[in-house]
Amino acid sequence: MDLELKGKSVIVTGAGSNIGRAITLEFAREGAHVTLADIDLAQAESVAKLALDAGAASAEAVRCDVTKLDEVQALVKSANDRAGVDVLVNNVGWDQLMFFTQTTPEFWQKIIQINFVGVLNCTSAVLPLMAAKKSGAIVSISSDASRQGEPREAVYGGMKAAVNSFMKTVAKENGRNGIRCNVVCPGVTIPADDEVGANSMWVNKDSMFTPEQLDAIAKSLPLKKIGRPGDIAKAVVFLSSNAAAGHVTGQVLSVSGGYSMVG
């Protein structure tokens, strides 16, 4: 099926590694213009080269801290000046696994800023552009921790639940302008070593999950396997396509091997 994404302009935040990298390359294979936003410019530039090799119409890396509205606005202006803005993927996310009683107010604020305020900043920057042309798609990456709670992810899960609710509301408010807003919730998703940037929370995989824990998680899932970044990327590209998902908005889709089944 032709997803009709060739020539579309896509912004991906956190594009330098892990899920963001996979999303960028999936859009590149569809022939889209991709703007790679990342706090690690060198890492984003390396992925931009891969995107061009994969078939992207163009690829531009932009250093951007999504918690800073002025930087987000500059990012969106750059993308819009080059090719317009058809799709925004709010991918940036960060966490450290620990019980809530082990966390500090400083940690809470970092989680809130990266995982929720960043989504607010990026969404607010693209909505006027999309509304003006009566079309657009926004896909935000959440987490299955948002749907049923997960030990050691209390604040992160809470912020991802906020993303789910926010995106549903934005979908209702902006559907009349032809803007679709959806959410993808990964479960445990493990990148390969060459997919991880220096600032990724997966730099030290063992600090997240031990091999024994990953094996136990895989065995507990209906599909008996751990997710990979490419699994998430394909769902994002589907939801971004008007040809494939043009009547889909305000939805929260789990891509987690069956960890969460919400109906």
Residue 1 maps to a domain: no
What pLDDT does 262 receive? Answer: 81
Split at pLDDT 50, 70, 90, the class of 57 is: very high
Tell me what the mean pLDDT of segment 61-67 comes to.
Answer: 98
Is residue 127 in a domain?
Answer: yes
What residues are annotated to the active site?
A: 156
* Residues of the domain holding 30: 9-255
pLDDT on residue 191 = 83
Phi-psi region of 247 (alpha: psi -120 to 50; beta: other; left: phi over 0): alpha
**pLDDT at residue 124, rounded to an integer:** 98
Q: What are phi and psi of 18, to 5 degrees?
A: 55, -130
Residue for token digits 């408010």?
173
- Residue pair 56/36 in contact (Cβ under 8 Å)? The answer is no
Question: For residue range 6-18, what is the model confidence (pLDDT) as tens digits?
Answer: 999 999 999 999 9
23-54 tens-digit pLDDT:
999 999 999 999 999 999 999 999 999 999 99
First and final CA of the chain: distance in angstroms?
A: 27
Inter-residue contact 100 to 154 (CB < 8 Å):
yes
| Measured distance CA(228)–CA(162) in Å, rounded | 24
Give a yes or no: residue 81 inside a domain: yes
- Give me the pLDDT at residue 28, please: 98
Percentage of residues of the chain with pLDDT beyond 90: 89
Q: What is the tens place of the pLDDT at every residue in 154-181?
A: 999 999 999 999 999 999 999 999 999 9
The domain total for the chain is 1
- Going along 53-192, which residue ranges are E strands? 58-63, 87-90, 136-141, 179-186
Flag whether 3 is in a domain: no
Q: Any idea what the CATH number is for the domain that residue 232 is in?
A: 3.40.50.720
The answer to whether residue 262 is domain-embedded is no
Q: Identify whether 261 is part of a domain.
A: no
Average pLDDT, the chain: 95
- The whole-number pLDDT of residue 201 equals 65
